[in-house]
Structure 1
Amino acid sequence: MNDQSLDSPDAPRGCPVAHGSPDLARLYGPEAATDPHGIYERLRKEHGSVAPVLLEGDVNAWLVLGYRDSRRVLDNPSQFPRDARTWRDYREGRIEETSALIPMLAWRPDCVSQDGEPHRRLRGAVNDVLQAAVGRGTRRHATHFANKQIDRFAAVGRADLVADYADFVPMLVMSRVLGLAEVEGRRLVESCAELLKGGEDAVMHDGRIREIFGELVERRRTEPGSDLATDLLDHHAALDHDEVVDHLRMVMIAAAVTTNLLARVLRLVLTDASRLSGLTSGQLNISAVMEEAMWNSPPLTVLPGRFAASDVELGGHLIGAGDLLVLGLAPGNVDPEVRPDPGVSVEGNQAHLAFGAGPHECPGQSMGQSMIEIAVDVLLHRLPGLRLAMPADELTSTASTWESRLDRLPVEFPV
């Protein structure tokens, strides 16, 4: 057992070492950007299924690496609430409002930030409006915007399927669903990406997102539309202005996460000739490729954040009341206790952590998967002969605290 274990008489309550200690592994910075999985595995060997880490600004947190421990946290909101007002470091003034962590961790009047009855009220509204959106033709919007993006490069014979395609299709679809004009959706691509990336501009981009949705909500009060913004305003749960704005923001950030999953799925397709031929011939279903991506390269590698409601033991460590926990979805999915052989096929196994779990499990997962299915299908049918334009082993990714994104996915095709 490590020196932060329950058996250590010197283990400080609720804080594994002094705040901001340089001895802790950082989930940000140069090493984390290029080799996050190396950090996860080193932490697993040193600390077990839960490890003390530092987030941006050298903020203390516990990273949950184990699959079963992640499920325990996600399935028990009374013991590990999502409400950031429980966070001791924030209550005691150690987290600045300008911190890059604020957009992803701070309390907001949305269903993600609340538990119990407030969560049920808001989550019910979100479920209702997302279901209505599906009925209004989300698949049709996905087909439209997939074709529109392809039109931008179809005559050139080459493209970067990250920057030219995956980064835009889910975002433009959700912009239409939410009630935004296409130009506003394209503006949000950068801001949502920067928010997820973190860094000194994260708070500024978060403000831009809220401003766009604040203006949309005001428009829809006087000019209702056939969109999700109008549906939230009209819902019987009686959401106020800030609740509507923050739920539109939440859905748009989920779309930004979906862009990463689309890129990962396209990478799997284009780096395996049998997958590519199977999809184009109809012998392989895209859902099988998505399952593989969600197990081995989930769009969020680390899920923010849960907070200990009281002192509790987790993974052999004493977690203090008010401590921050972040859930390692990527390391949890390859936890040797549940996947002793990661090379074994995961087809048909939907027990991955990619969408979270428990009461806060992603409510829009079926919509996101539908958009990816259409985006891949349209691409392969529009561009026969599509092939990767560089060796697969030279493809690179850059990670932030929360996600690891493909840098590029260059392709060529006959015109």
Structure 2
Amino acid sequence: MTLRYMPDAGRLYGPEYARDPQAVYAELRARHGAVAPVEIAPGVEAHLVIGYRAALDVLTNAGGFWSKNSGAWQARLPETPETGGVIAMLGYRPNALFSDGAEHARYRKVIADCFQQIQPHKLRQLVTEVSDSLIGRFATKGEADLVADFARLIPARVFNLLFGRPDSDSEGLVQALSDMMEADGETGARGSEAFSRYIGELIQAKHAQRGDDLTSWFMDHPAMLRTDELAETLVLVTAATYDPMANLISNTISRMVSDDRYYSSLTNGALSTYDALMEALRAEPAMANYGPYFTLQPVHFHGTWIQPAELVLVSYAAANTEPTGIPEELRSDGGAYLGFGAGSHRCPASDPAVLIAMTAIERLTSHLCDLELTVPRDELSWRPGPFHRALAHLPVRFTPIRPDQPGESPWAMRPPSSSIPSAPTSPARSADYATSAPWSS
């Protein structure tokens, strides 16, 4: 059935919301306070937590009555074209995102332990090689769409390699994820099928021969994931990196190239790439509204009654920017943000995510030091949707560079496919990417 329990619900979809979500949040805050009724798709309603303190209460499970299991909520929704995309994002899966208690701790430990095996300096080297190979594709042209040509390609190529697959497999992964994220109907189904095939082939290859890579570490972890749990963990890691990281990179770049505090020539800006990333995480988090939660009992929460099996979403974008009346320079929280969540479900790989985004952006700006938008930032187009804050395009121009000109260039680095073994698994990678596993000693 279609849920209809919330009068006066605001819409988190359509061009008006995509154009200015902060105006929608401000109106909801004025009418409803810290928790507001919203519609995330036609006929699909939710409670949106837009107050900072209320968001922390949910994320840290204050009161102990919040659950991540979406099964009861999902059972109430019909599978229609309107709800299909929502169920894909919020439907129950046996992984760390949709589990509680000991089950969640088990899944999360696998992810946290295995990501700790990646040495930061080697991850930086890998991202440098991937970034330079992408920049080399458009550096001679003097113009690019940094969403399609750069930001959306970085996470897929990097994680394809971290999963233990050759770089040549990344193009198929990029196409599958792009079809899944951007299209419905036949194209979306084709993308979903291709992604499922990629995950299946990845698991099959690692069952045949382990390597020093994330997939093998997941498989060999003492938690002993079942095959379906392994597949869902790989799906979660991919979903949590592909679109969010692409959005973080493009949102940060768009701020840097349109704000002289970050650069006027990219070499003398007052603020750093890290500053720009932190501001993007606060003001335009890649996942604007997510963190799905459900109550285990009827709850009167910050002025709103919430019933079991009702969807609660945390608006990181609204909570991060809630007016305080305190000047930024005097705020004791330092402009705190919830871009990676909080509490036991906080992203377990936030440090690698920041490292990947920073490295990619710094490689871009070091090679192309006079980047500028071809349209004003307030005229950039944003992808519609209730969950993300994602640029549709990021058109820039710059002074072209040539492969034969003096100085460092993106062509000076070897492509990832030559610096990383092309075989699906390789013992040589143990010295490159990992230390001994904590569970092997």
Give the residue type in structure 1 aligned to 2:337.
Answer: H
Q: Does 1:271 align with 2:258?
A: yes
Residue 10 of structure 1 is matched in structure 2 by none
Give the residue type in structure 2 aligned to 1:251.
Answer: V
Q: Structure 2: how far apart are the matches of 1:40 and 1:157?
A: 38
> Does the 8 Å CA contact 1:258/1:368 hold for their aligned counterparts?
yes
1:272-322 alpha-carbon deviations (Å, 9 max, x no partner): 234125852486432111111111111111014111111001121110122
**Which range moves more in the overlay, 314-323 or 173-182?**
173-182
Q: Structure 2: how far apart are the matches of 1:264 and 1:237?
A: 37
For residue 358 of structure 1, report the CA deviation from its aligned partner: 0.9
> Does the 8 Å CA contact 2:261/2:271 hold for their aligned counterparts?
no
Residue 377 of structure 2 is matched in structure 1 by 392
For residue 343 of structure 1, report the CA deviation from its aligned partner: 6.3
Residue 105 of structure 2 is matched in structure 1 by 120
User: Structure 1: which 5+ runs fail to align?
Assistant: 1-16
Match of 1:178 among 148, 163, 167: 163
Residue 210 of structure 1 is matched in structure 2 by 196
Residue 318 of structure 1 is matched in structure 2 by 305
Aligned to 2:66, what secondary structure does the other structure show?
coil
Q: Does 1:258 align with 2:245?
A: yes
> Does the 8 Å CA contact 1:313/1:319 hold for their aligned counterparts?
yes
**Which range moves more in the overlay, 293-302 or 380-389?**
380-389
Residue 220 of structure 2 is matched in structure 1 by 234
Q: Structure 1: how far apart are the matches of 2:307 and 2:221?
A: 39
**Which range moves more in the overlay, 155-164 or 27-36?**
27-36
Match of 2:95 among 107, 110, 115: 110
Match of 2:66 among 71, 80, 92: 80
For residue 375 of structure 1, report the CA deviation from its aligned partner: 0.9
For residue 373 of structure 1, report the CA deviation from its aligned partner: 1.2
For residue 180 of structure 1, report the CA deviation from its aligned partner: 3.0
How many corresponding residue pairs?
396
For residue 270 of structure 1, report the CA deviation from its aligned partner: 0.4
Q: Does 1:409 align with 2:394?
A: yes
What RMSD in Å do the two structures reach over aligned CA positions?
Answer: 2.8
> Does the 8 Å CA contact 2:297/2:307 hold for their aligned counterparts?
yes
**Which range moves more in the overlay, 368-377 or 348-357?**
348-357
Aligned to 2:387, what secondary structure does the other structure show?
coil
Q: Structure 2: how far apart are the matches of 1:347 and 1:411?
A: 37
Q: Structure 2: how far apart are the matches of 1:368 and 1:391?
A: 28
Q: TM-score, normalised by structure 1?
A: 0.87
> Does the 8 Å CA contact 1:197/1:402 hold for their aligned counterparts?
no
Aligned to 2:36, what secondary structure does the other structure show?
strand
Q: Structure 2: how far apart are the matches of 1:205 and 1:350?
A: 39
Q: Does 1:298 align with 2:285?
A: yes
Q: Structure 1: how far apart are the matches of 2:105 and 2:385?
A: 31
Residue 10 of structure 2 is matched in structure 1 by 25
Aligned to 2:322, what secondary structure does the other structure show?
coil
Aligned to 1:398, what secondary structure does the other structure show?
coil
1:179-231 alpha-carbon deviations (Å, 9 max, x no partner): 23334333333544565568556676445423311220011100212211111
Give the residue type in structure 2 aligned to 1:249.
Answer: V
Q: Structure 1: how far apart are the matches of 2:270 and 2:119?
A: 27
1:228-282 alpha-carbon deviations (Å, 9 max, x no partner): 1111111111011111111111111122211100001111110123412585248
Give the residue type in structure 1 aligned to 2:93.
Answer: R
Q: Structure 1: how far apart are the matches of 2:379 and 2:96?
A: 40
> Does the 8 Å CA contact 1:389/1:410 hold for their aligned counterparts?
yes
Aligned to 2:262, what secondary structure does the other structure show?
helix
Q: Structure 1: how far apart are the matches of 2:397 and 2:235?
A: 35
Residue 381 of structure 1 is matched in structure 2 by 366
Match of 1:160 among 129, 145, 154: 145
Match of 2:205 among 205, 219, 226: 219
> Does the 8 Å CA contact 1:82/1:306 hold for their aligned counterparts?
yes
Residue 91 of structure 1 is matched in structure 2 by 75
**Which range moves more in the overlay, 343-352 or 249-258?**
343-352
Relative to structure 1, the CA distance from residue 290 to residue 149 in structure 2 (aligned partners, 3 Å threshold; closer, same or farther) is: same
Q: Does 1:61 align with 2:46?
A: yes
Aligned to 2:223, what secondary structure does the other structure show?
coil
Aligned to 1:305, what secondary structure does the other structure show?
strand
Match of 2:341 among 350, 353, 356: 356
Residue identity over aligned pairs, in percent, reads 31
**Which range moves more in the overlay, 256-265 or 185-194?**
185-194
Match of 1:365 among 350, 356, 360: 350
**Which range moves more in the overlay, 22-31 or 211-220?**
22-31
For residue 121 of structure 1, report the CA deviation from its aligned partner: 1.0
Residue 418 of structure 2 is matched in structure 1 by none
Note the 1:275-290 alignment, pairs <5 A.
Answer: 275-277=262-264, 280-281=267-268, 284-290=271-277
Q: Does 1:47 align with 2:37?
A: no
Give the residue type in structure 2 aligned to 1:306.
Answer: Y
Relative to structure 1, the CA distance from residue 359 to residue 194 in structure 2 (aligned partners, 3 Å threshold; closer, same or farther) is: farther
Aligned to 1:399, what secondary structure does the other structure show?
coil
> Does the 8 Å CA contact 1:100/1:203 hold for their aligned counterparts?
no
Aligned to 1:43, what secondary structure does the other structure show?
helix
**Which range moves more in the overlay, 217-226 or 21-30?**
21-30
Q: Does 1:101 align with 2:76?
A: no
Q: Structure 1: how far apart are the matches of 2:272 and 2:95?
A: 35
Note the 1:142-153 alignment, pairs <5 A.
Answer: 142-153=127-138
Match of 1:340 among 325, 329, 343: 325
Q: Structure 1: how far apart are the matches of 2:283 and 2:115?
A: 27
For residue 345 of structure 1, report the CA deviation from its aligned partner: 8.9
Q: Does 1:244 align with 2:213?
A: no
Q: Structure 2: how far apart are the matches of 1:346 and 1:213?
A: 45
Q: Does 1:133 align with 2:122?
A: no
Give the residue type in structure 2 aligned to 1:85.
Answer: G
> Does the 8 Å CA contact 1:307/1:324 hold for their aligned counterparts?
yes
Q: TM-score, normalised by structure 2?
A: 0.82
Give the residue type in structure 2 aligned to 1:61.
Answer: A
Relative to structure 1, the CA distance from residue 294 to residue 124 in structure 2 (aligned partners, 3 Å threshold; closer, same or farther) is: same
1:339-376 alpha-carbon deviations (Å, 9 max, x no partner): 33586698993731111111110111111110111111
Q: Does 1:187 align with 2:169?
A: no
Aligned to 1:404, what secondary structure does the other structure show?
coil
